[in-house]
Amino acid sequence: MNELKRVFKEGMIKDNPVFRQILGICSSLAVTNLLLNSLVMGIGLMFVTGFSSFTVSLLRQQTPKHIRMMVQTLIISAYVIILDIFLKAYWPSMSKALGPYVGLIITNCIIMGRCEAFAQKNKPLISFFDGFTMGLGYTIVLLFIAFFRELLGFGSLFGVQILGEGWVKWTLMIMPPGAFFMLGIVIWITRNVFPNNDEKGGAQV
């Protein structure tokens, strides 16, 4: 139970993939102009990271060390293809909205990072939990960014108009620069709210 708690805390805050490890930035910038897109992307990533970590961990005793990267890529791509097929078959409009970013989950560093850093050394179930929490950490940040981008850019939340007709839409927020500003602000705030103890004593920047 303690281990679960530790893993959860690391995934959400201490080692949060986006604002701490600065991984998965490409997709965080791309899909966060709408809350719904971000949510689906996040759930997709949770699924892929969780099951990839699980599978990698399951095979960790059998996998020859020097070909483990190849094996990880194979496992990750298999799960991403499953997710892609699922979206195409049951949610085509979402599949279209996310476009190439579903396929690009394969290259999302969070997944391979967790396979390397955690799943290689731990048991399958806790690895699954670790992958899942990392995905959750990613999702939360995405949703946070998307909340402001959609609210200011479209005046809506999850497609429901919140701000009245008089609201002047900040087109900048739904364009790529808006994502950079929001992500920068998020990283800045979280670095201040959750200072990293490891950095103390290191070189002052």
Partner 1 sequence: MVKKKRILYPVFFMVVLTAVFTFVLAFINASSIDLIKAQEALQIQKSILYVFNIPFESQDLSIQKTFDEHVTTQTLNERTYYVYKLDQELQGYAFQFSGRGLWGTITGNIAISPEFDTILGINFISHSETPGLGGRIDESWFKEQFRNMSIKTEPPVIFKPAEGGSADAVTGATLTSNSVRDMVNQFVTDLKSIEKEVNLNE
Residues that bind partner 1 (CB under 8 A): 30-31, 33, 59, 61-67, 70-71, 74-75, 78, 81-82, 85-86, 88-90, 92, 99-101, 174-176
- CA 61 vs CA 31, 54, 102: distances in Å: 37, 13, 30
Residues in CB range of 21: below 8 A, 6 or more apart:
15, 110, 113
Task: Take residue 147 and report the two structure tokens written for it.
Answer: 């909340």
Sign (positive or negative) of CA dihedral 184, 188, 194, 197: positive
**Cβ 165 to partner 1, closest distance in Å?**
16
Q: How far apart are CA 147 and CA 151, in angstroms?
A: 6
In the complex with partner 1, the residue whose CB is nearer, 92 or 195, is: 92
Task: Take residue 17 and report the two structure tokens written for it.
Answer: 């993939």
In the complex with partner 1, the residue whose CB is nearer, 70 or 189, is: 70
In the complex with partner 1, the residue whose CB is nearer, 22 or 82, is: 82
In the complex with partner 1, the residue whose CB is nearer, 8 or 101, is: 101
Task: Take residue 127 and report the two structure tokens written for it.
Answer: 């690895």
Burial pattern 56-88, b for ≥16 Cβ within 10 A else e, equals bbbebeebeeeebeebbbebbbebbeebbeebe
Task: Take residue 74 and report the two structure tokens written for it.
Answer: 């194979």
Q: How far apart are CA 182 and CA 62, in angstroms?
A: 43
In the complex with partner 1, the residue whose CB is nearer, 59 or 151, is: 59
**Cβ 80 to partner 1, closest distance in Å?**
10
**Cβ 84 to partner 1, closest distance in Å?**
10
**Cβ 95 to partner 1, closest distance in Å?**
9
- CA 166 vs CA 69, 153, 155, 169: distances in Å: 53, 13, 10, 9
**Cβ 20 to partner 1, closest distance in Å?**
26
**Cβ 111 to partner 1, closest distance in Å?**
16
In the complex with partner 1, the residue whose CB is nearer, 97 or 143, is: 97
